[in-house]
Structure 1
Amino acid sequence: MASKRFAVELVCEQLLLLNVRRSAFRYAQRCCIHSRIKEELEDERYKVLDIYRDIDLVDKYEPPEQIEKHMTRAECMKTDQTWSDVWPVKAPYHWGSVPLPLRQGYRKKDYLLSRGKYGNTELIKIPNFLHLTPPHIKKHCQAIKKFCSEFPSELKNPEIRNANFPLEVITSDYVTCGQSIRDERSQEVTVNVNLSVLKMDEHSVIKMKKLAGDRMDEKAMTLQLKSDRCPVRKQNLDFNIYTLTALYFESQEKEAWEEDEMEESDWVTYQWDKTKSKQKILQLKQKINQVSGQEVEGQEGGSEVVAEDSDVQSYKSAFSNIKDGGETRENMEAYKQSVLKLLKL
C-alpha cells in the first residue's frame, strides 16, 4: 500500500489538493491531515478542491407531507386559475402544465386505453391552440383596444353605410401552429358591390344579369365577385376590380341587334308586353266587354285602357312568374285564379 495518501499539485498558480480515499481505516487520519493542510492553504489564499462529502448537507428523509409539495403544476392548479398566465404564448404540449386527462397513441388491443399524457411524445407532435382560447383573445383585444378608433355612429345604419361605401372587400387570415405561416385560403378575396348606386338603366341591369349570372342578386341589386386563382391576395383583388370594371362598361354598351333582333330566348326576364300573348288577351278582353255590354263606344285607345284593368294585370303577373320562376304549385294556383278572374268564371 502506498505510504502517501494525498498529493499537492500546482496548476495555473492555484494549489489543488487531491485526496483519494483508499482505506476506511485511515479515514480519520486523512481528515486530520486534510484539515491541517486546508488551513495552511487558505492562509496563503489558494483554492482547495474538496472532494469529501459534507455530512451536514446529505439529503435527509422527507415525510409524505413534504413530498406533496413537489406535485406538478396541473395537480395543484386551482379551479379559478387564469389560463392566460399558465399558457401565455405558443408552446409545445407539456403534460405537467395542462390539467386535462388527455390520451394519445396506438392501442395494441381494442379494450385497452391509449397512453396517458405523462411523458407522451405523441401529444407533442400535434399542434395545439392552448394559447388562443377565448380568454386569451379577449385579453389581447383589450390590450390593443387603446390603439383602435371608435366605429362612427353614423355608419351603424346599414342603408347609410351601403350608400356611402358601396364597395365591400372581404379577406380572411388564418392562424396555425404548423411549420409554415402561409395558408392558401388567405389569398381568396371577395368583393361585394351595391349596384343601386351605379347609373344603370333597365337595359344595363338586364345585360349585367346576363353577363354575371349567379354572381348577381337581382332582388338585392348586389354583385359578388370571388377570386383565388392568383398566388397573392393583392393580385386577386386587382382581378376582381378589373372584372367589375369590364362588366359595368360592357353592360352600358347597346348593340343594334339587342333592340330589334333579340329573341325570346335571350331575355333575362319574361317581357309580356313584347309577346303575342298580350295582343290575344286584349282582344279576348274586348270581346268579353262587348258581350257583357261594358264597352264604351267611341272611346279612343281602347286596347290601352283594357290593358290597365286589374284582371289583365293579374294575368300578366301570374304568367310572367311561371316563365321566370317555373311551374311551382304557388305559381300555378295564382295563374288559375287570374284566368278565372279574366274569364269572369
Structure 2
Amino acid sequence: MHDKRYQVFISSTYTDLQEERRAVQDAVISMGDFPVQMESFPATDESQMDFIGPLIEQSDYYILIIGGRYGSVDETGLSFTHQEFRYAVEKSVPVLVLVHGKPDTIAVGKTESTDAGRAKLADFITEASHKRIRKDWQDIGELKLRVHEALDHAKRSKPRPGWVRGDTIATIDALEELNEVRKENEKFRVALGNLSVEIPLPKLPNADELTTLTLLPLTSSNNKKRGSSAKIQGSWISFFPLFFSNLDVSTNDWNGEYYFNIDHDDSCIKVASAIAGELAPVDTTGCFKISRSTLERLISYYTEAGLMIANGNEGTTPFTETAQRLARRHHVVGSAAPFAIIEGEVLVTTIGSAGGNFSRDLDDDIPF
C-alpha cells in the first residue's frame, strides 16, 4: 500500500476565525496532508468563486468550520463560505462539518449583530448538518482534535484518490489497470456463469511448516545498544504468540463506530525484538527489526489462516476470537523458544564498547 497524502480545503468566515483556521491548518499538516485555504491565494482578476471552484474540485476533502458569523453576502444572496460549501457538495467532495458547540460564549464582535444575519447562520448550519456527521467544538484544542477524528474517519469511510510520490505512479497505474481487468473479468464470469475459468489459489502452508525470518540490526532509541543480523527458522504458528503480543495496534472511534490501526513501523521493531529476546539472555528491546515486507507476509498468512480480520479496519482488534484463544493457550502452556538461529547470531552490543557476545550494563561492574 502506498503512502498517500490528501488535499484538504479549509472553509470558514475569515476575520472571526483566523486563529481557528491556523489551528486547523496545523492539524492537517501534522497528519501529512496538504491544506488549501484563501490565505494562500494570490491576487487575481478572476472572481473569488471562479478561482476557488477548481481548487475545491481538486481537493480530496472539504472542512467547513462554523463559528458565530454567517459572513458577507454578495449578489447571490449567499456568503462566500456558503457558496464554497454548495460547490463542494455539487462536485461530490466529502464535507466534514465542525460547528461551535456553545455559540452563546462567542465574543460579541465575532457573532452576527442582526436578526437577519443570525437567521441566515442558523439556516446554513441546518443545511450543512443535513445527513452529514457533524462534530461540535468549543476551543482551539478541541477543534484540532475534531479535525484529526473527522479526517481519520473520512479516509476510512470515504476513500479518495489523494497524491503519491512521482516514482510510485507507474506502479499505481499498473494496479489500477489490473483492477479494471479484474472488473471486466468479473463481468464475463457473471455473463458466462458456470463456463467461467476459475484460477486456483496457491496452497497455504500448513501451520507447522517452516519459514525463515531475517532479523535486522537496529540502534535502540537511546542510542546505547545495537542488535545484530540473524536468520531465524520456525513454523508459522511458532511465531504467532509473539506476533500477537507485539503487533502495535491502536483503536479510535467515530460516532460510536470503532476502528483499529496497525502501526507497521513500530510493529516491525517490537515483533523482531521479542523474537530476539527469546534467543538471547539480554534486553533486546528496540535493537532488532524485521522488514515491512516480512511483516506483511506474516499478516497475510495469519489472515488467510483465519486468525486476523481481512478488511483490517473495523472493530477494536485485528485478531479473531480463535486467534485470541490460541494466544491465551500458548501463554498458559509456555515453552522454550520453538524456533532456532540458522545463520548469524543474536547479539546486543553497547555502542562504543570493544565488543563481546552480549552487552552488560555498567552497573554490573560496580561492587556496591
TM-score category of the 2 structures, normalised to the smaller one: under 0.3
Output the TM-score relative to the length of structure 2: 0.20
Structure with more relative contact order (C-alpha pairs < 8 Å, separation 6 or more): 2
Give the number of the structure whose residues are more often strand, by fraction. 2
Larger Rg: 1
